Structure 1
Amino acid sequence: MRTKQRFAFTAVAAAVLLGLGGCSGMSAQDRNTAVGAGVGAVGGAVLTGGSAVGTVGGAAVGGVIGHEVKH
């Protein structure tokens, strides 16, 4: 089970890094939403032990928070 959690975390982290590579043409608000969703997904996965529901929930909450952040 521990290996499965480590793999899930690594996969999410890799997806976040690859996703951020495509942010160059985005507006600031779009970037904040994407970053918030990525950070939320990682946080949700860590806090729930790799649960899919926790990962998706974290991504949703992080995306909303990122969308509302103003620079």
Structure 2
Amino acid sequence: MKTIQNLSLGALAAALILGLGACSGMSSRDKNTAIGAGVGAVGGAVLTGGSTAGTVGGAVVGGVIGNQVDKDKDKK
């Protein structure tokens, strides 16, 4: 059982490191979109008791809001 926990922890750490490395080439607007989608997904899941529709809906709404946050800065 201890071996499975160690492997799981190592896989989680590797996924986290690789995931953070993938964001290095993103623009500020892309990062805001991804963060908004993540926060929206968590919020949607919490508000709907973990339903799939609530999670996906929250991710969509959060992604759109995150995408629009710095829209005026991109025009300048």
Normalised by the length of structure 2, the TM-score is 0.66
Percent of residue pairs identical: 70
User: Offset at 1:20?
Assistant: 5.6
The one-letter amino acid of 2:42's match is: V
- Higher relative contact order by CA 8 Å / sep ≥ 6: 1 or 2? 1
Q: How many residues align?
A: 56
**Higher gyration radius (CA):** 2
In structure 1, the partner of 2:36 is 36
How large is the Cα RMSD of the aligned pairs?
Answer: 2.3
The one-letter amino acid of 1:51's match is: S
1:49 maps to 2:39: no
5+ residue gaps, structure 1, are: 1-13
5+ residue gaps, structure 2, are: 1-11
List, as ranges, runs of 4+ consecutive aligned residues in structure 1 with deviation greater than 6 Å.
Answer: none
